[in-house]
Structures are given as structure tokens and as C-alpha cells.
């Protein structure tokens, strides 16, 4: 039995071989065997009728059975091949190779249906064309030569007119194309213009924001500049201010020395309260403390601690606190701390005076004797007055304090001229 496998030429689906085809092949082979029982080469003129050109029956088309497209089998793997079939195969191959015959291909039922429909359509068109040609031929035979010439002339004129119309339409098409290109360019330009306008609007907004920021910063700058000018003016004014003269006022015209409206000392006729005397001592200590800071003088042995009406002097050798305030109940018979405090103050004042005499050549009207706690009236009587309360009268004590304040008043005037008048 043959195991030949066929594929559809169009869709490559495997073809099912109909049992009728197998029976037909078998009958054909038997007929061949009967017609040429000998294995000799057949006569060449009969080759075209040999059965290697097999006819495929269409299983769905019984009316076309045996008339469907024949095709050629090559390389049949059957072991029952006869010499005749081999000769036919060679002959068919030769015809195909030499171009005497087209290769036929097997088709499946669906592709065959499609092919037949296409061929039917082509046939219909060809028949319609044939009818038209026939009618034209009949009409042509009826037209005379003169009429044909006239007709040809008319057709030529019509052709010329149509060519002109074609040229005109071509030109019109070109114009329309150009117009279209121009409109496209205009659209692109409009889009670009819109974009630029939006960009300009945004730029204007940014500019306005920056301008506002600039105005704010300018306002801040002018404000700061005004503040600077004001502060510089204040600084200049303060630097010219004689802070010592403003802060301290010493009067020594009366029997008592007065500093910042506080009387320092008391006499039998004027019983100044101890609170006032203590406050006057506080102002005096603050003045000498300020002068020492201003001139950079560091006192030896003592440290001034100005503290209002409770000011005192700290001893640097014994950590003793010597008071510059009293409530009048101090023991007048002993060398009490109040007297020692006032002596210590004189010591500090003398250190400052010595510095002035040495560096500035300034001499004061009342000489200070630190050891005895005395102030000597070198301008007049030459008498010494003790600054202590012990073994002293109120008159002499008050005079000693007044001399001390007079010295301080002169020192104050010198300090004002030295530190503030040049500015
Ligand atoms: Zn197919």
C-alpha cells in the first residue's frame, strides 16, 4: 500500500486521501498491468496516457470527480513501484524541468472552493468584456469613414479639452497644497506666538514679584540705614558726653562738702543724718572707683567696693571689711572699723594723687597724710585735720571731709578735661 503524504499547496494542511482514490489507484495499476504485462520500456507516444498522472477526486464534488486538477507525484516511497510507473515519473520530471509542462499542486477542499469561486468571477468578467467588445465591433462596422473621422476629431478635441482640464486641476491642486502649507505655517506661527505670550506673561509676573521683593528689601535697607545713622548719632553724642561731670557734682562752698546733694559730715549746728552721710560716702567711693578704672590704676592694699549707703573697703592683706557707713553708735574710744575705713579710703586717694603728681604734674591744695589720717590745709593755715571720729570734733572731721571732697572735685575736673574734652 502507498504511504504517500500530500499537503495542500495553499494552506499546507495535510490532505486526506479518499478511499475511492485508493481503489481507483489500485484499479488503474491493474489496468496498466493488463495493458503492458511486459516490464519492457513503453512506446513513447503513449506515455502521456499513463497513470502516473493521477486524478484527485474531490470528496465534496462528485460531479467533478476525476476532472479536478491533476498533479505530479515525485519520490514515491512505495516498494511496489513498477518499471512503467518509474518511467512515467521520469518522463513527467523531464517535462517539468524542460518547461513543457507546469507543475500541478494538490489542493484541499476549502482552497479548491475558493479557487473555483475566483475563477468563476474572472470568467464572469471576461464574458462581460467579451460582450462589450462584440457590441463595439458591431457598432464600428456600422459607422462610415467620414463619420469615423468626425468622431475622431471630436474625440481628439474632447481629449485635448480633458488634458487642459487636467492641467488646470493639477495647477489648482498645487495651489491648494501651497495654501494648505501656508495655513499650516500660520497655525504653527500662531501656536508659537501663544506660547511666547504665555512666557511673556509669566516673565511679567516673575518681574513683578522680584520688583516687590526689591521694594521690600529697599525699605528694609533704608530702615536699617536710618537706624544706623541714629545709633551713630547716639554713639557720637554719648562719646562726647562727660559722664563724670553728669554723674558727679561736688559742692564745697558751705561748711560741709556736698556730693550729689548728699552732705558728707556734720557739725553741731547742722546735724546731718547718718543715712545721708553714708549715702555721700557711697557716692565718694563710686567716684574714686570710677576714676581708678578710667585711668587704669590698681590700688594696693585695698579694694573699693562702692555699694550705695553700705559701701566698704576690702583689705587685700587680711580680708577685713572696713566700713564706710555708720549709724553713729560706733565706739569713739577705740580705733573702730569706720575710722579705719575712712583712713583706708584716704590711702587709696593718696595712691591716685601720687599717680597724678607723677604722670600729670598735678598738685592738689590739701595734702594727705595717710598714716595719721590727716588732711593738711596747705593753702592757708597749714593746719591738719583728722578724718577719724575718734578723739576728734565734728567741726574738724567735717572740715577734713570737705578738704577731701575739694581734692576730688579738682581731680574730677582734670579727668573731664583729659578723657572727654578732646572728643
Ligand atoms: Zn488548502
The DSSP secondary structure of 205-240, one letter per residue, reads: HHHHHHHHHHHHHHHHHHHHHHHHHHHHHHHHHHHH
Question: Is 121 part of a structural domain of the chain?
Answer: no
The rounded Å distance from CA 89 to ligand 1 centre is 25
Question: Is 32 part of a structural domain of the chain?
Answer: yes
The C-alpha R_g of the chain, in whole angstroms, comes to 73
The rounded Å distance from CA 56 to ligand 1 centre is 14
Average pLDDT over residues 276-291: 96
User: Which of 58, 83, 110 is a domain's end point?
Assistant: 110
The answer to whether residues 302 and 348 touch, using CB atoms and an 8 Å cutoff, is yes
The answer to whether residues 256 and 398 touch, using CB atoms and an 8 Å cutoff, is yes
If one counts every other C-beta atom within 10 angstroms of the C-beta of residue 51, the result is 17
The rounded Å distance from CA 114 to ligand 1 centre is 9
The rounded Å distance from CA 68 to ligand 1 centre is 14
Tell me, what CATH number does 287's domain have?
1.10.418.40
pLDDT at res. 59: 39
The 8-class DSSP code of residue 54 comes to B
Q: Per-residue pLDDT tens for 202-213?
A: 999 999 999 999
Cα separation values, 416 from 134, 239, 242, 257, 283, Å: 145, 12, 6, 20, 17
Average pLDDT over residues 140-150: 84
pLDDT at res. 33: 59
Which pTM does this prediction carry?
A: 0.50
The rounded Å distance from CA 369 to ligand 1 centre is 147
The rounded Å distance from CA 111 to ligand 1 centre is 4
Average pLDDT over residues 380-390: 87
Percent of the chain with pLDDT over 90: 54
The distance between the two most distant Cα atoms of the chain, rounded to a whole number of Å, is 191
- Enter the C-alpha cell of residue 420: 572727654
| Model confidence at 40: pLDDT above 80 | no
The rounded Å distance from CA 262 to ligand 1 centre is 137
pLDDT at res. 310: 95
Q: Per-residue pLDDT tens for 153-209?
A: 999 999 999 999 999 999 999 999 999 999 999 999 999 999 999 999 999 999 999
Q: Per-residue pLDDT tens for 288-327?
A: 999 999 999 999 999 999 999 999 999 999 888 999 999 8
Query: Which residue is associated with the grid cell 499537503?
Result: 7
- Enter the C-alpha cell of residue 187: 497655525
The rounded Å distance from CA 91 to ligand 1 centre is 28
Q: C-alpha 107: how far from its chain's center?
A: 72
pLDDT at res. 46: 38
- Enter the C-alpha cell of residue 128: 462581460
| Model confidence at 37: pLDDT above 80 | no
Question: Is 190 part of a structural domain of the chain?
Answer: no
Ion ligand 1, residue ranges at CB < 5 A? 8, 10-11, 108, 111
| Model confidence at 91: pLDDT above 90 | no
The rounded Å distance from CA 19 to ligand 1 centre is 19
Q: C-alpha 63: how far from its chain's center?
A: 86
Q: Per-residue pLDDT tens for 110-127?
A: 888 999 999 999 999 999
Percent of the chain with pLDDT over 70: 81
User: Which of 64, 89, 110 is a domain's end point?
Assistant: 110
Query: Which residue is associated with the grid cell 456600422?
Result: 142
The rounded Å distance from CA 103 to ligand 1 centre is 17
The rounded Å distance from CA 18 to ligand 1 centre is 16
Average pLDDT over residues 233-255: 88
Measured CA to CA, the distance from residue 31 to residue 36 in angstroms comes to 9
Cα separation values, 79 from 34, 162, 361, 368, Å: 20, 72, 155, 160
The rounded Å distance from CA 11 to ligand 1 centre is 4
The rounded Å distance from CA 16 to ligand 1 centre is 11
The rounded Å distance from CA 115 to ligand 1 centre is 10
The rounded Å distance from CA 106 to ligand 1 centre is 8
Cα separation values, 318 from 40, 300, 321, 322, Å: 162, 13, 9, 11
pLDDT at res. 52: 39
pLDDT at res. 259: 96
Higher pLDDT, 143 or 113: 113
| Model confidence at 45: pLDDT above 70 | no
Q: Mean pLDDT over all residues of the chain?
A: 83
Measured CA to CA, the distance from residue 402 to residue 404 in angstroms comes to 5
Measured CA to CA, the distance from residue 284 to residue 286 in angstroms comes to 5
| Model confidence at 142: pLDDT above 70 | yes
**106 and 249 both lie in a single domain:** no
Question: Is 220 part of a structural domain of the chain?
Answer: no
Measured CA to CA, the distance from residue 172 to residue 178 in angstroms comes to 10
Q: Which of 96, 52, 57 is nearest to 76 (CA)?
A: 52
The rounded Å distance from CA 73 to ligand 1 centre is 17
Average pLDDT over residues 69-79: 47
Query: Which residue is associated with the grid cell 574714686?
Result: 288
pLDDT at res. 55: 41
**414 and 267 both lie in a single domain:** yes
Question: Is 78 part of a structural domain of the chain?
Answer: yes
| Model confidence at 252: pLDDT above 90 | no
pLDDT at res. 43: 36
Measured CA to CA, the distance from residue 348 to residue 288 in angstroms comes to 8
The rounded Å distance from CA 60 to ligand 1 centre is 14
Entry field: residues in the chain? 423
- How many domains is the chain partitioned into structurally? 2
Question: Is 201 part of a structural domain of the chain?
Answer: no
User: Which of 61, 91, 110 is a domain's end point?
Assistant: 110
Structural domain boundaries, residue 355:
244-419
| Model confidence at 38: pLDDT above 90 | no
CB under 8 Å to 114, separation ≥6 — which residues? 10
Question: Is 143 part of a structural domain of the chain?
Answer: no
Question: Is 10 part of a structural domain of the chain?
Answer: no
Higher pLDDT, 372 or 192: 192
The rounded Å distance from CA 87 to ligand 1 centre is 30
Measured CA to CA, the distance from residue 78 to residue 125 in angstroms comes to 45
The rounded Å distance from CA 259 to ligand 1 centre is 136
The answer to whether residues 411 and 289 touch, using CB atoms and an 8 Å cutoff, is no
The answer to whether residues 377 and 403 touch, using CB atoms and an 8 Å cutoff, is yes
pLDDT at res. 56: 41
Q: Per-residue pLDDT tens for 332-354?
A: 555 578 999 999 999 999 999 99
The rounded Å distance from CA 8 to ligand 1 centre is 4
The rounded Å distance from CA 17 to ligand 1 centre is 14
Amino acid at each position: 500500500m502507498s504511504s504517500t503524504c500530500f499537503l495542500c499547496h495553499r494552506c499546507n494542511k495535510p490532505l486526506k486521501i479518499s478511499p475511492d482514490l485508493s481503489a481507483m489507484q489500485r484499479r488503474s495499476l491493474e489496468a496498466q498491468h493488463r495493458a503492458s504485462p511486459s516490464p519492457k520500456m513503453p512506446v513513447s507516444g503513449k506515455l502521456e496516457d499513463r497513470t502516473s498522472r493521477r486524478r484527485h477526486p474531490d470528496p465534496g464534488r462528485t460531479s467533478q470527480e476525476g476532472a479536478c486538477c491533476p498533479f505530479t507525484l515525485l519520490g514515491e516511497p512505495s516498494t511496489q513501484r513498477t518499471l512503467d510507473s518509474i518511467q512515467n515519473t521520469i518522463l513527467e520530471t523531464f517535462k517539468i524541468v524542460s518547461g513543457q509542462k507546469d507543475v500541478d499542486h494538490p489542493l484541499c477542499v476549502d482552497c479548491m472552493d475558493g479557487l473555483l469561486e475566483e475563477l468563476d468571477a474572472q470568467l464572469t468578467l471576461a464574458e462581460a468584456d467579451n460582450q462589450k467588445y462584440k457590441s463595439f465591433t458591431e457598432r464600428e462596422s456600422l459607422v462610415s469613414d467620414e463619420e469615423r473621422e468626425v468622431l475622431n476629431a471630436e474625440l481628439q478635441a474632447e481629449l485635448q479639452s480633458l488634458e487642459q482640464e487636467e492641467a488646470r486641476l493639477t495647477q489648482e491642486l498645487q495651489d491648494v497644497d501651497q495654501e494648505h502649507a501656508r495655513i499650516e505655517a500660520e497655525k504653527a506661527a500662531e501656536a508659537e506666538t501663544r506660547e511666547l505670550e504665555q512666557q511673556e506673561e509669566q516673565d511679567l509676573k516673575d518681574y513683578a514679584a522680584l520688583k516687590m521683593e526689591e521694594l521690600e528689601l529697599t525699605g528694609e535697607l533704608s530702615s536699617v540705614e536710618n537706624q544706623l545713622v541714629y545709633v551713630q548719632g547716639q554713639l557720637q553724642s554719648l562719646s562726647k558726653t562727660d559722664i563724670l561731670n553728669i554723674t558727679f557734682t561736688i559742692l564745697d562752698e558751705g561748711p560741709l562738702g556736698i556730693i550729689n546733694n548728699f552732705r558728707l559730715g556734720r557739725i553741731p549746728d547742722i546735724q546731718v543724718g547718718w543715712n545721708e552721710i553714708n549715702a555721700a560716702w557711697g557716692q565718694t567711693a563710686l567716684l574714686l572707683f570710677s576714676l581708678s578704672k578710667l585711668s587704669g590704676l590698681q590700688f594696693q592694699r585695698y579694694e573699693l567696693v562702692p555699694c550705695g549707703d553700705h559701701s566698704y573697703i576690702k583689705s587685700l592683706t587680711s580680708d577685713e571689711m572696713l566700713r564706710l557707713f555708720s549709724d553713729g553708735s560706733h565706739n569713739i574710744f577705740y580705733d573702730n572699723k569706720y575710722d579705719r575705713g575712712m583712713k583706708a579710703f584716704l590711702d587709696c586717694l593718696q595712691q591716685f594723687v601720687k599717680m597724678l603728681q607723677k604722670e600729670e604734674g598735678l598738685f592738689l591744695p590739701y595734702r594727705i597724710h595717710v598714716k595719721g589720717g590727716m588732711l593738711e590745709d596747705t593753702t592757708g593755715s597749714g593746719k591738719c585735720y583728722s578724718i577719724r571720729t575718734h578723739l576728734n570734733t565734728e567741726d574738724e572731721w567735717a572740715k577734713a571731709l570737705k578738704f577731701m571732697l575739694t581734692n576730688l572735685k579738682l581731680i574730677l575736673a582734670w579727668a573731664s578735661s583729659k578723657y572727654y574734652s578732646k572728643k
